[in-house]
Chain A
Amino acid sequence: QMFNMAQQELESRVDLFNKMTLSCFNKCIGSRRESELNMGENSCIDRCTAKYWQVTTIIGQLLGSSRPPM
């Protein structure tokens, strides 16, 4: 049973990582692409991940606090 919880947690984390990279890539990196990150793209990605993480923690806390006791 603990194994199932751990598996779910890992799956959710992997999902979070994939969604974060996909959405920040779509938002931040423009059409003209070179092999390295520009400075603007770099700062954009910093901000994007910080905001995404903050939103995730806030929503997680909201969800966790309003969940009915098991």
Chain B
Amino acid sequence: MVDQSAEPPASDSDGSSAPPPPVEPLKLPTFEEMKAQDVFNNCAVKSIVSCVMGGGMGIFMGLLFGALDNPLNPDQMTVRQHFTHAAKQMGSKSLHMAKAFAVMGAIYSGTECIIEKARARHDMTNTMVAGCVTGGSLSAKAGPKAACVGCAGFAAFSVVVEKLFDRAA
């Protein structure tokens, strides 16, 4: 309904410069495009994607930490035995870390999505509350004091990461 075609402006009085390039008509997104963009707007989809990404990152970090945790000790075992033992330890550790990171990513992204949809604003308080909920839920088993500390720590960490992403984006 808005005037969708803009004609090129009339040629200016100065004949020295070339006429300005014609303005392209405004292209509103079609219904299919909006639906396709809306897939990522869903909270469940976003939290599942974040869960998978957290799992991947956890696998990498587990491999890294597992490799770091194995000092080379040629006296007790042969090289091949040491290698298989180190590989198994790296595998188990990476699986453990992958699970932890996946859960953390899913909880954080899910709560942030829900809070932002409810508030209908894009603020820093969304990330703070979501970080607090995530940190609190992860360390809830160790008692209420540990939950508070975890909440504050994870909220601060997520605010820092969000500021990093905001500058970069």
For B121, the chain A residues whose CB sits under 8 A away are: 30, 40, 44
Residue of B nearest to A30 (CB): B122
Q: Which of A21-40 contact B (CB under 8 A)?
A: 21, 28, 30, 32, 34, 38-40
Q: Are B2 and A14 in touch, CB under 8 angstroms?
A: yes
Residue of B nearest to A29 (CB): B122
Q: Are B2 and A17 in touch, CB under 8 angstroms?
A: yes
Please report the C-alpha to C-alpha distance between residue A41 and residue B119 in the assembled complex, in whole angstroms: 10
Q: Are A38 and B122 in touch, CB under 8 angstroms?
A: yes
Closest 4 CB pairs of A and B: A44-B120, A38-B122, A40-B122, A40-B116
Chain B residues near A (Cβ < 8 Å): 1-2, 41, 113, 116-117, 119-123, 126, 166, 169
Please report the C-alpha to C-alpha distance between residue A14 and residue B120 in the assembled complex, in whole angstroms: 27
For chain A, what secondary structure do more than half of its interface residues adopt (helix, strand, loop), or is it mixed? Answer: helix
Please report the C-alpha to C-alpha distance between residue A14 and residue B1 in the assembled complex, in whole angstroms: 6
Interface size class on chain A is 10 to 19
Q: Are A43 and B2 in touch, CB under 8 angstroms?
A: no
Give the most central of B1, B120, B123, B166: most A CB within 10 Å: B120
Q: Closest CB of chain B to A27's CB: distance in Å? A: 10
Please report the C-alpha to C-alpha distance between residue A30 and residue B120 in the assembled complex, in whole angstroms: 11
Q: Are B2 and A39 in touch, CB under 8 angstroms?
A: no
Please report the C-alpha to C-alpha distance between residue A30 and residue B116 in the assembled complex, in whole angstroms: 14
Asked if A18 CB lies within 8 Å of chain B CBs, one says yes
Residue of B nearest to A15 (CB): B1
Q: Are B41 and A39 in touch, CB under 8 angstroms?
A: yes
